[in-house]
Structure 1
Amino acid sequence: MVKWSKKDERQFDHIKESQLERGKSEDDAEEVAARTVNKQRRHEGRTPNKTTQGTGNPNTRLEERTVDELQNLAADLNISGRSKMNKADLIAAIRKQR
Structure 2
Amino acid sequence: MPQAAWSAKRERQFKHIKDSLVKSGRKPGLATEIAARTVNKERAQHGESLEASKTSLQDMPAGRRGGLHSHSGPAGRTYAQLYQEARKKNIKGRASMNKAALEQAVDKGKG
- TM-score of the aligned structures, taking structure 2 as reference length: 0.45
> Residues 15-68 of structure 1: CA distance to partner in whole angstroms, max 9, x if unpaired?
0000001110110000010000000000001112121699xxxxxxxxx7xxxx
Task: Pick 1 or 2: higher relative contact order, CA cutoff 8 A, min separation 6.
Answer: 1
Cα distance in structure 2, aligned partners of 1:2 and 1:41: 13
Amino acid of the structure 2 residue aligned with 1:21: K
What is the one-letter code of the residue matched to 1:4?
Answer: W
Equivalent residue of 1:20, what SS?
helix
Residue ranges of structure 2 left out of the alignment (5+ in a row): 57-64, 66-111
Q: Partner letter of residue 33 of structure 2?
A: E
Q: Please tell me whether Structure 1 or Structure 2 has the larger radius of gyration of its CA atoms.
A: 2
Alignment match, 2:8? 6
**Aligned partners of 2:47, 2:26: CA distance in 1, in Å?**
29
Q: 1:36 aligns with which of 35, 38, 49?
A: 38
**Which contiguous aligned blocks of 4+ residues in structure 1 show a shift greater than 2 angstroms?**
none
Give 1:31's aligned amino acid.
E
Q: Identity over aligned residues, as a percent?
A: 42
TM-score normalised to the size of structure 1?
Answer: 0.50
Which amino acid in the other structure matches residue 50 of structure 1? A
* Corresponding residue number in structure 2 for 1:70: none
Q: CA-atom RMSD, angstroms?
A: 2.2
Q: Number of aligned residue pairs: give it.
A: 55
2:24 corresponds to: 22
Larger displacement relative to structure 2 (44-53 or 24-33) = 44-53
